Structure 1
């Protein structure tokens, strides 16, 4: 009755009503399934099957569904490339390559045997049929990422292996299609090789140059997000022009922008939020719309083909995950996670099936077109998508939850990351965003809050008060865009230093960040307040920041460490901040110090799986020379000290003046570690065992984990 009154027929064509129905599904499915602990991506696929053309026919799988679904698919691959830890990937590249060989070969062999000897396909069809199972789609990756284990070794291996195995399977598709059309020859291989090399060079070398220029010159947040979407689609288009699938282009786009979009930034938060809220759910619904349950009821042959496909795909992925676990001595949960992540078939599988189905290689005896892949394979692939995504969801979430819980249980000698309190001294409007971004960059991953303070002179007029409120309001908005809470503190005091020092005591501040104005650098009054005021707080880590360009556009940091710095109480606390900058921004960290210090840091880096360059210098002058040769997109970090500390030497007092003269156009950060050792802190234990490199590596490794 309702439909007839409103002149609505099925499938619904009204765009407003269509979009509303899909949004209601995206809203309700997670709420319903979370209560029974069923992954909501499975619910979205089933919902798509029910409302789709092969279900109740509520919606058709038209161009609007295909476009949003395609964007969601590209988004999944882009996020996988964007969030991969490039340092870990470099260190684990051989593990990823080994896994890709396993995960390509095992399903391929099973699929070829099933297609050639059981289903009696031709040799060419059997090869294409086998390649369907070698690829996989990281459907559950967004869910794994939200659990905070995206940098786990198993995830890193799987993501790296996905890129390789998908490329290989799609190359098989390209070759088989060429052979079926009689086009394989020297020219074919030359064209494919050249186009792939050009595509790789353009995306991985040219894209970062364009993106770095854009982020440095365009500060509008909406424009930055649209730019990211443009890069995704442009890379996908270039991939198709090169003869490979668009999803590979999206993955490479993620790799290209990996070091330019800090993981703690508001832009990263926007990219993840929009993808997880809109595009990826639409992709899952669009996949569900392909499922036709009637095909399995009407044809036993379809069920037989589907069974072989399920055994080849899921069985082959299990064998690959098991071999990977044994080869690299991973835990059972990590092996299960690799299997779960790699067992879902959707993107490349569906693309290959559709291509093979649309290629006609002859006619049957009845005059029907003879296709490279028949309708039974097409229908079987839909069941494979449903079952594999179901298996992937349950296995991945179960193993990921156990890994996440184990990570949470790893404490470091009583250290509680939640006690970290970072205070930003926000006095200048132009430095607010840079200061907040630095605060989010140096904080530990479990710390979801910052403190911001503005000191107002007791005799200030109403205009000064409003300006302070505006500064703190901008800071709150910048932090909230990255899902970080900033606690704004307004204090009236006749002395700025005294006001900040009182706030440090009241809020148990562990780290204080003070910003320098871009064009002023160190003034005489600031230097006086630094040494005669701020540094009187012996229990805090003090950072002085000079930012002239977005922190995410810095390619490399030069870190200067004075002799005997490792003996200072706050050394390891300060190093944690430096490591966080490198890990969250993707910038290369190049250390300069004496042999003893570099040995300690090298040992820590190996234990904590952290990327860095370690350069031994004999004198402080050698280290300064490295600093003065900074390029435009490079930054400087100097570990400083106050009188009475082990690493202090008189020439340190000249550093501010030298920075004003030589590096006014570069980003730099001065870190003054706390000099008073607190009771029951890891730093105290680390210092007392400074010669025990294994103990230091163990302590710091657990901190970073």
Structure 2
């Protein structure tokens, strides 16, 4: 048995297979018990490492390579996900809070290190480990609809300062520890680092924009280009005696504007979050010495408490200073504190670099693991607690008056040749429209367009019927779409068969729309990618809505390869409704819409449900579920706000009732309530942490248990 285990640990193929199995299964299991998925990866590393089964060896070349790539990827994604646009809006305040939330933890960490007998250099590095932060709470404030609250944008912007400063301190400390430190060498190191940073930040940015301009839609080549510059930056950092994670983070900032929020960014993050970053966290578990870890927790408990407590206190003081300087409320200050607590990306990467350099001891490294575990759990919990108390900027809700229509419909007089041409309408449509006087164009031409991809004959009829009901209500047009997949050769016999099948599906669609007396414009599109075919056709037709059938992709397959639904959400320019209809749409008369917070996205979800209800003479129940301990006054305020929005923005012509429940298990409560309705409309949201690890949404947990028709309504990325 021992011989078999030794062979397994030394076999790269077996090691890689085990890593894939762990990455695939453990994070979702740990998320189910309300723990971050990365905790499951650390646990796997401990169990499979030298302190457990011995199936993985942290010293093997394959594990080292994957872990190094994961560490580089982690810091690259941390830089890539920083919203530079939001930082530019509040850069002065972001730098102010960034300085405070970096300096105070640094001072606390240095003081704690010196008190516990560390050398000055090790104490400074320990302080820098507390000074950065990872935005694990960002998906929560995004879900709550308070991302545009200034306190949140300032905290997000501060991440740039704290991470860069912490990595700079790491570079200097490791240089000093290597015995190469003097006043002259420090100046040379700083100048070299400055030149290197300028080359990476400005050179890669300019080169990347030019490369992307020339390559157009060649996403594969663009993806490889990004990978190349990331690892070139990492290698370049090592050349100037700086840790490779510094180069990776700078590369992330450099390509931030290049990739924007494009499908290429999705591919980059997907590869990292699916494979390489999890490998890094598993390796962290392999490096954990369990006897030493237990000893640190027990015999060196004062050090652990001091570092964890020092982080909490220093970050709170920084938030309190921001409150005083910028006249923020306590809820804003506490949200800033909660957002800046988690220590994951830069902290773990820097701690590992310090451990490998011999600058910090195993005890300090173990304390950093404890710090990561505590803050990665406490940070999101506190963010949810204080974030929901933030006020949503009223201008966002007030300006949310656009229906599911092109923006220029609200101002018909502004329609012009350039407006229509940029909308992507086909040439014959433009010619027909522009022959009419301007005043007649908008009223006679159907601007509301519903694109319906048809592929499954079993679901096609219900999809078209639902789209026809919505289009009829909005005096619009249904665009049945069939994608004929093809690659290079347009004379491929298989393509001819595919086009023939597409024509049959579109004929069926036309028969359905004719019954509802709705205009239809069937389209066959030849494309080598289904997602691109859907999203590009929707853009060309200036669609207001995409209605898609339910995907039967299981969660494991989706986790590995993604899904068409996710990709359409990411790439489309308009709202997307993914539907699973168990009965004909005309027989759906009772609709349930669970709501959590009154964000612009929630209001658009209610508006979608209202359009369908009015088209089908249905009634709507808005369901809000709170925990038993929720303040009664808060529920009353939410009810008043909701009624105000219904009266001033939705203005329903059908019956909309509101229902408030107290239930700790939200998913179970929604499933129970859904038993009394024909259809449930859920808001779909995709969330991702700054480390790239996916976070499950409540919709994922309830969809499989609901026994009635479902609509997942989502926004474009």
Q: Distance in 2 between matches of 1:195 and 1:131?
A: 21
Which whole-Å deviations, capped at 9, do the CAs of 1:264-295 have from their partners, x for residues lacking one?
x3222222322332233223323333333321
Q: Distance in 1 between matches of 2:333 and 2:288?
A: 30
Deviation at 1:134, TM superposition (A): 1.8
Which whole-Å deviations, capped at 9, do the CAs of 1:297-339 have from their partners, x for residues lacking one?
4465433322322222333223323433454345666545543
Aligned to 2:285: 288
Aligned to 1:305: 303
- In structure 2, relative to structure 1, the CA distance for the partners of 1:54 and 1:151 (3 Å cut) is farther
Deviation at 1:184, TM superposition (A): 3.6
Deviation at 1:100, TM superposition (A): 1.8
Q: Of 154, 160, 166, which aligns to 1:169?
A: 166
Aligned to 2:239: 241
Alignment partner of 1:386 is 2:383: no
Q: Is the 8 A contact 2:86 2:157 kept in 1?
A: no
Q: Is the 8 A contact 1:84 1:151 kept in 2?
A: no
Alignment partner of 1:377 is 2:377: no
Q: Is the 8 A contact 2:406 2:543 kept in 1?
A: no
Aligned to 1:255: 253
Aligned to 1:21: 18
Q: Of 407, 415, 426, which aligns to 2:401?
A: 415
Q: How many residues align?
A: 461
Q: Distance in 1 between matches of 2:139 and 2:66?
A: 17
Deviation at 1:451, TM superposition (A): 6.5
For residues 403-552 of structure 1, the aligned pairs below 5 Å read 411-412=397-398, 415=401, 418=404, 425=425, 506=518
Q: Distance in 1 between matches of 2:117 and 2:323?
A: 34
Aligned to 1:39: 36
Aligned to 1:228: 226
Q: Is the 8 A contact 2:75 2:345 kept in 1?
A: no
Q: Specify the SS of the correspondent of 1:289.
A: helix
Q: Is the 8 A contact 2:8 2:15 kept in 1?
A: no
- In structure 2, relative to structure 1, the CA distance for the partners of 1:224 and 1:451 (3 Å cut) is farther
Q: Distance in 1 between matches of 2:329 and 2:307?
A: 29
Which whole-Å deviations, capped at 9, do the CAs of 1:73-130 have from their partners, x for residues lacking one?
43343334334333321121112211222122221222222222x3133444433333
Aligned to 2:85: 87
Q: Distance in 2 between matches of 1:349 and 1:317?
A: 15
Q: Is the 8 A contact 1:303 1:380 kept in 2?
A: no
For residues 48-87 of structure 1, the aligned pairs below 5 Å read 48-61=45-58, 62-87=60-85
Q: Distance in 2 between matches of 1:277 and 1:408?
A: 38
Q: Is the 8 A contact 1:29 1:43 kept in 2?
A: yes
Q: Distance in 1 between matches of 2:295 and 2:506?
A: 79
- In structure 2, relative to structure 1, the CA distance for the partners of 1:137 and 1:261 (3 Å cut) is same
Which whole-Å deviations, capped at 9, do the CAs of 1:608-627 have from their partners, x for residues lacking one?
9xxxxxxxxxxxxxxxxxxx
Deviation at 1:379, TM superposition (A): 3.1
Q: Is the 8 A contact 1:45 1:386 kept in 2?
A: no
For residues 567-586 of structure 1, the aligned pairs below 5 Å read none
- In structure 2, relative to structure 1, the CA distance for the partners of 1:329 and 1:449 (3 Å cut) is farther
For residues 657-668 of structure 1, the aligned pairs below 5 Å read none
TM-score, normalised with respect to structure 2: 0.53
Q: Distance in 2 between matches of 1:147 and 1:232?
A: 33
Alignment partner of 1:195 is 2:192: yes
Q: Distance in 2 between matches of 1:397 and 1:317?
A: 17
Deviation at 1:198, TM superposition (A): 1.6
- In structure 2, relative to structure 1, the CA distance for the partners of 1:411 and 1:170 (3 Å cut) is closer
Moved more, 172-181 or 104-113: 172-181
Which whole-Å deviations, capped at 9, do the CAs of 1:614-653 have from their partners, x for residues lacking one?
xxxxxxxxxxxxxxxxxxxxxxxxxxxxxxxxxxxxxxxx
Q: Distance in 2 between matches of 1:448 and 1:142?
A: 31
Q: Distance in 2 between matches of 1:26 and 1:449?
A: 39
- In structure 2, relative to structure 1, the CA distance for the partners of 1:373 and 1:91 (3 Å cut) is same
Q: Distance in 1 between matches of 2:122 and 2:80?
A: 35
Aligned to 1:316: 314
Q: Distance in 2 between matches of 1:141 and 1:73?
A: 21
Alignment partner of 1:105 is 2:91: no
- In structure 2, relative to structure 1, the CA distance for the partners of 1:267 and 1:90 (3 Å cut) is same
In angstroms, what is the RMSD of aligned CA positions?
Answer: 5.2
Q: Of 210, 213, 221, which aligns to 1:213?
A: 210
Q: Specify the SS of the correspondent of 1:259.
A: helix
Q: Specify the SS of the correspondent of 2:342.
A: coil
Q: Specify the SS of the correspondent of 2:401.
A: coil
Unpaired stretches in structure 2, ≥5 consecutive residues? 410-422, 429-447, 455-479, 488-501, 508-513, 522-540, 545-571, 574-599, 601-646, 652-714
Q: Distance in 1 between matches of 2:39 and 2:281?
A: 8
Deviation at 1:389, TM superposition (A): 3.0
Which whole-Å deviations, capped at 9, do the CAs of 1:550-594 have from their partners, x for residues lacking one?
xxxxxxxxxxxxxxxxxxxxxxxxxxxxxx99xxxxxxxxxxxxx
Aligned to 2:264: 267
Unpaired stretches in structure 1, ≥5 consecutive residues? 360-370, 429-446, 454-467, 476-487, 494-501, 510-536, 542-579, 582-607, 609-679, 685-702
Deviation at 1:426, TM superposition (A): 5.7
Which whole-Å deviations, capped at 9, do the CAs of 1:668-693 have from their partners, x for residues lacking one?
xxxxxxxxxxxx99899xxxxxxxxx
Q: Is the 8 A contact 1:76 1:138 kept in 2?
A: no
Deviation at 1:151, TM superposition (A): 6.4
Aligned to 1:344: 342
Q: Is the 8 A contact 1:18 1:59 kept in 2?
A: yes
For residues 636-651 of structure 1, the aligned pairs below 5 Å read none
